[in-house]
Chains A and B, each alone.
Chain A
């Protein structure tokens, strides 16, 4: 028996340039206790399907066709009041980011009790009692204390448990989980997915799990629906779809997922739905390659960074948080060194200290035999900065929205080179051609580009000064798998052809396996293990590394490929 069924659902958003068909003829069914995955890349319409079921499509958009049935009752066309009765009580939702999904000014207890009282018409103390029982059920210790605490007193994983408790508190039939673990670390992700699976079985709730992550799909779902550009391309039991995908898009999507089990020379690209802009390495470099050096290019010794946690006038009363604790490693010329760890482990802080953005509290950074770092003399620091460049995680906030793309790419040249205007213009054109955007892109602004295109702009900017050393801080974690594959291939090509040296920071272990020669594992600011990539993945020595690898989503794609 199906709990929820969707047939021929269409959702459209009227815009000034005509109607955008966000979802077209989508269909899926969910049975009680079943977890149904909805997978696709950004813009595929998967979140829109979730919003349509909730009746939460933002105006002026709306459902233009099809039916949504809950226990054989049509709910698609209900008016606002009737929809509100269903929302929360029969269907509830789990959001992606637990840091923003809870009201910061109300206690956790207030938010649960308020929802329970509205839907179940309970007296205050009964609702409070049930809320505490529910908090215990989702794995929150000491519910009596936690009940009166505010969201900021919970960690990310704990907040997501609170969000789950909130979604469950009105005994719904269906839960829509929209990327419930995307914002969490792998170890927390595994716990939250386990919890969702357990609760779905125990309470016979149907779950629609919206995600872009094939690993999550493989781990917890019973059935899966694949969407592409607003349309359902394939649906079926998870095992069957992942093992023997029928539609070419599904095959391409599965192939693009970085493999954790074996290192491949290049990432397979999704060729479905149009060609990809090619990267011209010769154009990018202008015939230049990084000179080879004797010994390690970059040496980091005893790097330590403390942040003031509690300020005080008296030095003895100040409290510090040690973000990076005595970290040492070498990177040889032409090597890609990976740095992995969970959020808060100090990965980005290390990168910023090497880039001389943060002063060092202790330790030394040596580049090509010369001591560099925030307190190095001006000329040395400038020469160093010309040779290192950074690529940041978020392609949306790392480009100034008020600057034209050509000005963005030219900026490092103005400050770090002695080229004149004509030379700079020629170089910017070559760079934009080289990353596959074309020189016409220079006259446009960042918001006109997609995430992947913006990351290409970041790469063009980073390569402008012909650096020898590139720091990539989570360069692809904000991107779809197919785009991730393109960007990682570009970085690989550059590294091989220009003899670039790279520090590659990521929390995504399969990506690290594909990209890096050697890997360092950071935990709470300490480097616990450094090893050759293959050795680390095949025979990890430190227990923490083993734990990280055990929790890594094991998605290896269809046996055939």
Chain B
């Protein structure tokens, strides 16, 4: 069991180092940073001095090693565009994205699993058919369109909710939160729905089909033959067996929520890392792009690690192997 965790940790580390290599390679191959930093008015000594200051005169391996060392300490260099440390900028922006991702993730998982179970149990009810039909919309409409439709309906026509920004935020140490003010919570609603809708419908459809599969199994028939009440059968026997495959997909989808918040953040002008990344791409701000890549990789790896540990917690067959 401990060997398993250690092995998974080592694998995660390897993945991060490979992603680090890709992030680092961007510095070398996507344009010359010296060019973009110094601009038109420069001398050969300026170039030389900056090269040395940035460590660009060293060998590839040494530079990569330095990059990893710095990355572990949270130092991703200085933004070409803003001239400030990247870590500082990320820290400023990350809470907005993480709060948005957490709320939409919770919405997606909570409603996804609940609706999935209900539509599986009441397969032929009109409510289930309605939910299934509605879920097609969630799967098929692109995120930006959903965002724009929601803005049109709730901000422009009804005027209930703000159409952009985070509203008022409260500072708790380095963390700025929108959870504690009314306008912050209101501002969260539309982007969270926009970001989570696709994942919710996906999770719902997956839970539904898995649940229907599990309900056909012999042990469910046997549980019925033992006269156990439907509630016990559905929520104790069937749900747990449904979860194993659902966790896999859900884990990947949660990673996707964080990684692909870009579109939602753009539509709602949400001041998160996604918007930061889009701006960085426009200005070829490579340190920011590299740091963003690393951040997303860490998220994915952490979530997958959690998924693997959850498997073991749920399925005893993996524990005794």
Cβ-defined contact, A150 with B221, below 8 A? no
Distance of A89 Cα from B229 Cα, bound (Å): 12
Residues 498-529 of chain A, each 1 if its beta carbon lies under 8 Å from chain B, else 0: 00000000000000000000000000000000
Which of A92, A95, A118, A119 lies in contact with B218, CB distance below 8 A? A95
State whether B228 touches A56 (Cβ < 8 A): no
A534 is an interface residue with CB less than 8 A from chain B? no
| 0/1 string, A63-103, CB within 8 A of B gives 1 | 00000000000000000000011111100110101001111
Report B-chain residues with C-beta under 8 Å of the C-beta of A295: none
Chain A residues with CB under 8 Å of B236's CB are: 106, 114
User: Which chain A residue shows the least CB distance to B243?
Assistant: A105
B7: shortest Cβ distance to chain A, in Å?
11
CB distance from A469 to the nearest CB of B (A): 38
Q: Are B217 and A118 in contact (CB under 8 A)?
A: no
Q: Contact at B221–A115, with CB atoms within 8 Å?
A: no
A-binding segment of B261-269, B289-297, B312-320:
B312-320
How far, in angstroms, from A87 to B226 measured CA to CA in the complex? 6
Residues of chain B within 8 A of A104, CB atoms compared: 219, 241, 315-317
CB neighbours of A86 from chain B (8 A): 227
Identify the closest chain B residue to A310 (Cβ): B321
- A103 CB contact (under 8 Å) in B229, B241, B314: B241
For A101, give its contact among B222, B316, B317 (CB under 8 Å): B222
Chain B window 195-238, contacts with chain A (Cβ cutoff 8 Å), 1 for yes, 0 for no: 00000000000000000000001110111111111001000110
Measured between beta carbons, the chain B residues less than 8 angstroms from A119 are 227
Does B240 interact with chain A (Cβ within 8 Å)? yes
**Best-buried of B218, B229, B236 by chain A (most CB within 10 Å):** B218
Contact A97 B226 (CB under 8 A): no
Nearest-neighbor residue (CB-CB) of A102 within chain B:
B219
Set of chain B residues within 8 Å of A150, measured between Cβ atoms:
316-317, 320
**Taking A118-B229, A153-B320 as contacts, is the C-beta distance between A103 and B224 under 8 angstroms?**
no
CB of A170 closer than 8 Å to a CB of B: yes
> A81 CB to closest chain B CB, in angstroms?
10
Evaluate contact between A166 and B226: CB separation under 8 angstroms.
yes
Q: Interface residues of B toward A: which range? A: 20 to 34
Instruction: Identify which of B219, B222, B229, B240 contacts A84 (C-beta below 8 A).
Output: B229
Closest to B217 in A: A100
Contact in complex: A103, B227 (CB < 8 Å)? no
- Evaluate contact between A89 and B219: CB separation under 8 angstroms: no
Q: Provide the residues of chain B in CB contact with A101, threshold 8 Å.
A: 218-219, 222
Q: How far is the CA of A97 from the CA of B221 in the complex (A)?
A: 12
Bound Cα distance from A146 to B25, whole angstroms = 56
From B221, B315, B320, contact of A56 by CB (8 A): B221
Q: Is A390 an interface residue when CB atoms closer than 8 A count as contact?
A: no
Q: Please determine whether B316 and A115 come into contact, CB atoms closer than 8 angstroms.
A: no
| Interface hits, B136-175 → A, CB 8 Å | none
Q: Which chain A positions have C-beta within 8 A of B228?
A: 88, 114-115, 118
Contact with B along A113-133 (1 / 0, CB 8 A): 011001100000000000000
Q: In whole Å, how far is B222's beta carbon from the nearest beta carbon of chain A?
A: 5
B227 near A118 (CB under 8 angstroms)? Answer: yes
CA–CA, A97 and B222, complex, Å: 11
- Smallest Cβ distance from B221 to chain A, in angstroms? 7
In the bound assembly, the distance between CA atoms of A287 and B240 in angstroms comes to 60
Does residue A54 face the partner (Cβ distance < 8 Å to B)? Answer: yes
Which residue from chain A places its CB closest to the CB of B227 in the assembled complex?
A88
Which chain A positions have C-beta within 8 A of B232?
A: 114, 118
Task: List which A139-174 residues lie within 8 A (CB) of chain B.
Answer: 150, 152-153, 163, 166-167, 170
Chain B nearest Cβ from A196, distance in angstroms: 16
Asked if A89 meets B317 with Cβ closer than 8 Å, knowing A56-B221, A100-B217, the reply is no
Are B222 and A163 in touch, CB under 8 angstroms?
yes
Instruction: Please judge, given known A-B contacts A100-B219, A102-B222, A103-B241, whether A152 and B317 are in contact too, CB under 8 Å.
Output: yes
Given pairs A56-B221, A92-B225, 12 additional interface contacts (CB within 8 A) = A85-B227, A87-B225, A87-B226, A93-B222, A93-B226, A100-B217, A100-B219, A104-B241, A114-B228, A150-B316, A152-B317, A166-B222
* Chain B residues in the interface with A (C-beta under 8 A): 217-219, 221-229, 232, 236-237, 240-241, 314-317, 320
> What are 15 A-B contacts with C-beta separation under 8 Å?
A56-B225, A87-B224, A87-B226, A93-B225, A100-B218, A101-B218, A103-B223, A105-B240, A107-B316, A115-B227, A118-B228, A150-B316, A150-B317, A152-B316, A170-B226
Pairs A-B, 4 closest by C-beta atoms: A88-B227, A87-B227, A100-B218, A88-B226
